[in-house]
Amino acid sequence: MLMEIAFDEERIRKEGVCTSEDLWEYVNFVMEELDLIEIQKGVYKAKVEREAFACFGAAYLTFSENGSFERYVTTWKWYDYEDLNGPYEDIIEGRKHIKVYV
């Protein structure tokens, strides 16, 4: 499994709410705490493959609660395999179809 993340760098600079460095520092901190490692810029995999689903699930829940992450993320994909050309779930698109009932 892999998770890929990218931000709208131009929008971040333009709005000045936070910096790109702040967001990446936050993402890398969360990923490190969850035993996920960056294998290339914005692409993460689990240190222990059999724990990948739980680790990525925790990352998903953590990032979903962060307003700045949600505001500036442009790519957020969860790959089934360790292949960026393989099948993936587009998390941003999937979240558009979630209904919350209170």
Per-residue model confidence as pLDDT tens digits over 50-59: 999 999 999 9
pLDDT computed for residue 74 by the predictor: 96
Nearest to 19, CA basis, from 31, 29, 32, 8: 8
Cα–Cα distance for residue pair 89/43, rounded to 1 Å: 14
| Domains, the chain, ordered by start | 2-95 (3.30.70.240)
pLDDT at position 25, please? 96
pLDDT interval class at 101 (50, 70, 90): low
Q: What is the pLDDT of residues 25-52, one digit of tens each?
A: 999 999 999 999 999 999 999 999 899 9
CB 1 within 8 A of CB 56: yes
With contact defined as beta carbons under 8 Å apart, do 17 and 58 qualify? Answer: no
